[in-house]
Amino acid sequence: MSELEDLRAALAALSARVEMLEDQVALGQLVASYGPAVDSGSSRRAAQLWSDDGVFDVPPIARWQGHDEIAGMVEGEGHQGLIANGVGHVLTAPRVVVDGDEARGWNYALNIRWDPTEERFWVARVSANEWTWRRETSGWRTVSRVNVNLDGTQPPRELFSHAAGAP
Amino acid sequence: MSELEDLRAALAALSARVEMLEDQVALGQLVASYGPAVDSGSSRRAAQLWSDDGVFDVPPIARWQGHDEIAGMVEGEGHQGLIANGVGHVLTAPRVVVDGDEARGWNYALNIRWDPTEERFWVARVSANEWTWRRETSGWRTVSRVNVNLDGTQPPRELFSHAAGAP
Amino acid sequence: MSELEDLRAALAALSARVEMLEDQVALGQLVASYGPAVDSGSSRRAAQLWSDDGVFDVPPIARWQGHDEIAGMVEGEGHQGLIANGVGHVLTAPRVVVDGDEARGWNYALNIRWDPTEERFWVARVSANEWTWRRETSGWRTVSRVNVNLDGTQPPRELFSHAAGAP
């Protein structure tokens, strides 16, 4: 039976490698869902990318916590005006580090808007983002997303430093 | 033999999980190939990202169907002028949902051009894209790519709403 | 024992598929690490994305070879000024082709800067990038990254042509 045991162990080891890949893909997919959710006004689906008490922190401008506040941001006049006017929330594929049932990630988000007067697009915001995720029964959810504008007021020396290691 | 059967079943289940990951990676790679193909003028290779009768729909501007029309777009004066002048077709990593031999995806595409008069880049177009793919014998191919400009004329409330669910 | 041998062979084949996926993910993660590394001033971590004698080539502007030169670029006055002023090195997810212990990739990099006078962001550079990687004992490292500006002076007909094939 030792050969069978060897096979079982090898299969378990391979399964663990597959789970690591699944986590990487799932978290990349979560990040790739944010822009389409908010640009289509899918407020509840956007909110559900967070855990029930998850935080979307945009210092020093705003901080939303929980599904109602995050959905409310999408449903608000400000955001709805952006959609009507023309906007893309363009996020890049994240650097992701998984540690059991927790994970962290870092990426960029561009907020690009249509200027109807000049009749051209302009980059309204370029931000550095740090995400903290938790594995819940329904899948990965965002515990915290911190978003800082790269306009020189908050250089991301600390926020991005943990993303910098070689994979 | 029951233990062997258990192992065979476990291996088959793991293989199915690996195939899901392979699909996600392959479709991400397909999307990542588009920009380099058109920006290098590789018209046939760009066209081959579509199925033989695949559609590239850019309402209300243009609609190309099949390899000859899509390759013709790349070979045309308009596109060749963009390359000579300086252009990047910058696509983001897609949200991808696979269902057997069919799949759908959603992402952003930036068309950024060099302005030789102003001597700086400008964002000529930011679009929301919905992709439909089919698994063919040679691999995944694009059945349809719909590309709408985010200039406020066609807010992607419908087009992006299917991308919005949590993964 | 033939059934056991069949299982072992199936497991080895599946393991090889998993390794291909791990390579794709690892190389995507390496690319996703570059922006956060240089925008946080993590000069050594940025350098360690290259092999010891790796080259970062930006023709015709600059060429850095080895960890000291690449770290020195990040630590230099020019780059530090960009960080203080507000900058994002925004890279897209790469097209990746793995061949054993070597791999190549292609993607875009946007250099977006804050203009404190105009109080808005501007796209300072859009580049086509070709990466060559090598599997080392510590993981994948960059042997060469060639970065050409898409301002029309160096259309990436050759550089991007190898990225253009269907996956």
Contact C39 A128 (CB under 8 A): yes
pLDDT, residue C162, reads 84
Q: Find tokens 């081959």 and name the residue.
A: B48
pLDDT digits (tens, 9 = 90+) for C28-75: 999 999 999 999 999 999 999 999 999 999 999 999 999 999 999 999
Q: The complex's ipTM?
A: 0.96
Q: Which chains have 3+ CB pairs within 8 A of C?
A: A, B
Out of A34-38, A40-44, B11-15, B161-165, least confident range: B161-165
Contacts of A166 in chain C (CB under 8 A): 30, 33, 45, 48-49, 138-139, 141
String of DSSP letters for B121-132: EEEEEEEEEEEE
Kindly list the distances between the CA atom of residue C159 and the CA atoms of A65, B5, C32, C127, in Å, as whole numbers in the listed order.
Answer: 46, 50, 21, 11
pLDDT-based confidence at B164, cuts 50/70/90? confident
Minimal CA–CA distance to B101: which of B135, B78, B76, B58?
Answer: B135
Kindly list the distances between the CA atom of residue B5 and the CA atoms of A13, B19, C4, C12, in Å, as whole numbers in the listed order.
Answer: 19, 21, 11, 18
Candidates C93, C126, C158; nearest CB to B28 = C93
pLDDT exceeds 90 at position C164: no
Contact C14 A14 (CB under 8 A): yes
Half-sphere exposure (Cβ direction) of B81: Cα atoms closer than 13 Å: 5
Contact B166 A49 (CB under 8 A): yes
Given a contact cutoff of 8 angstroms between Cβ atoms, the answer to whether B126 and B48 are in contact is no
Please give the model's pTM, rounded to 2 decimal places: 0.97
pLDDT digits (tens, 9 = 90+) for A3-17: 899 999 999 999 999
Percent of chain B with pLDDT over 70: 99
pLDDT-based confidence at A1, cuts 50/70/90? low
Contact C160 B22 (CB under 8 A): no
Contacts of B124 in chain A (CB under 8 A): 120-121
Contacts of C108 in chain B (CB under 8 A): 35, 88, 90
pLDDT, residue C1, reads 58
pLDDT, residue C163, reads 84
pLDDT, residue C2, reads 86
Token digits for A13? 């080891």
If phi over 0 gives left and psi between -120 and 50 gives alpha, with beta otherwise, what is residue B158?
Answer: alpha
Residue C155 in contact with partner chain B when CB distance is under 8 A = yes
In three state form, how does the secondary structure of A78-129 look? HHHHHHHHCEEEEECCCEEEEECCEEEEEEEEEEEEEECCCCEEEEEEEEEE
Q: Which of C40, C50, C89, C114 to mutate to test the interface with A (most CBs of A within 10 A)?
A: C40
pLDDT digits (tens, 9 = 90+) for C118-145: 999 999 999 999 999 999 999 999 999 9
Given a contact cutoff of 8 angstroms between Cβ atoms, the answer to whether C60 and C149 are in contact is no
Please give the torsion angle defined by the CA atoms of residues B11, B16, B20 and B23, in that order, rounded to the nearest 10 degrees: 100
